[in-house]
Structure 1
Amino acid sequence: MTVPFRWDLVTPDRLGSLLDDVTVPEMGYLGELCRCAGKVLARGGNGDLVFVGRSLDSMFDLLGGALEGTDHRLARLPLSFQRPEDHTRPRVLRAREILTDLGITPASLARRTRPVTFVDVVSSGRTFRSLFTLLDDWIAEEREPWPVIRLKIRFVGVTRRTATSPNAVRWKDYADWPRRLPAASVVNVSLDAMTWSHFGNWQQKLTRWFPPHRWVSGAAETQRDDRTRKALAEAVRLVELGRTREVRQMIARAIDGEPALAEPWLRALRSRLA
């Protein structure tokens, strides 16, 4: 596989006997995940959501079910970024190919009507910085119009919730690249600290880790051991829950009070979910 294999759970792919005798893990995080997902939708600027890495796969699955039948597109960018020096020319070119497969190129960004909104858990912001640099260099090489493209890319960082303070310093305050985008294009959504750590650090993932040294050589083969099967059962259940009226209403309620509700697209989406 050139990228880590992941079953299509919305269409869905045939799973055969993979889930036979598998107990679905407890999902005590569901309410908090719904709240966060609603905020991500509201602050995503009506963009097509692209989930970076693996940390928020559960949100991808939940929204895959909840947004079924709408015109909102979801995608996964399975790249895991590490040190900038890891991004050699062959790796950069391979990353561009993967982005191209998702329909994300400098030319397409300059011509699309709906923005692309990248979503990931954020601590230091290193992944977003690497992704922005990858896109920025590519746009410059292709000589596509940056003043147009800067309006077509957005970043939503899911952060660990802490006590609010007027003196708090956030990850994007340390970075210079967000200043090249409109202020509303780089935003945060907070997530309960325990849930954030679960998704970012502890949760068994369905797909294999895909760091830069594997971008060119290709992804490791997908496992089908007991832990992976449990992760698959959890993902399947999240898609099913996303289709339920109860969960869709939970996501819709999380949108209430968001400034973007003044915009027709979000009012229409909230009405569809409710």
Structure 2
Amino acid sequence: MSTITTRPNDDSTVLPRFGTEFRTDLQGLRAVAVLLVLTYHAGVPFLSGGYVGVDVFFVLSGYLITGIMARELLSTGHLSMQTFYARRILRIVPAATVVLIATAIATVVWLPITQWRSTAAEIVGSAFYVSNWQFAASTDYLNTDSAPSPLQHFWSLAIEEQYYLIWPALLVLALTVAKRWLRSQGKGFSPLTIATIVMATVTLISFCWSLVAVSNSPEAAYFLTPVRIWELGVGSLLALAVPNLRGISTVLKQLLFWGGLLAIISAGFYTIAL
């Protein structure tokens, strides 16, 4: 089923207008995340934990995407998967295709023929957004002395695309089943409540999995979707919680903002020994 229909809900008026206004706070967090990742790759000694910027991107992605879906569902009464996927394709695929074509050309021109086969496999994996699984099996991302793949940065995009593919489909399925069951029981139906329960369950399972993977398989903990999805899940849960957070005081908002920002920056100075 590609569309789930519910009754429009006034809660949509308290959700952020994702995509309709410039969010300086979110853009600022993106800038901090970019700087952290850049300092990590630049080898800045006291910012060896800068790769945490990727985690920030995942949380932001989950927050933004779920906010968009929640607003559509609550304001229009339906969620169209066709429209959602079309928007994601138009936003990501053109630029990604240009990068992959340019990489293929550069590989033939500059890389030795012995690397053509492996790079070609990575191009195919990146084109289908499964490269993170490839790198998990063959790469130590945290080993800065090893020669990186020209497409290694696609691993995080692959995880996000897999999230974009699975989360709307899972949400539509859960809402459809819950709607039918609750109505058969004569009970009310709250789309946000169902979405929160589903995402909280997925997030908890993924987080527990990540705790095990960090100790047993660092590469899996870094690259694999089931281990990373909890970060996107945290962002999704924050988006779903927005209607319940509007009443908090300005002082508490400021404490949360500055405390969160300090925690993100502080994480850049800390590296977990793997």
TM-score (structure 1 length as normaliser): 0.31
| Larger Cα-atom Rg | 2
Q: Comparing both structures, which one devotes a greater share of its residues to helix?
A: 2
TM-score (structure 2 length as normaliser): 0.31
Q: Which has the higher contact order (CA 8 A, sep 6+)?
A: 1
Q: Comparing both structures, which one devotes a greater share of its residues to strand?
A: 1
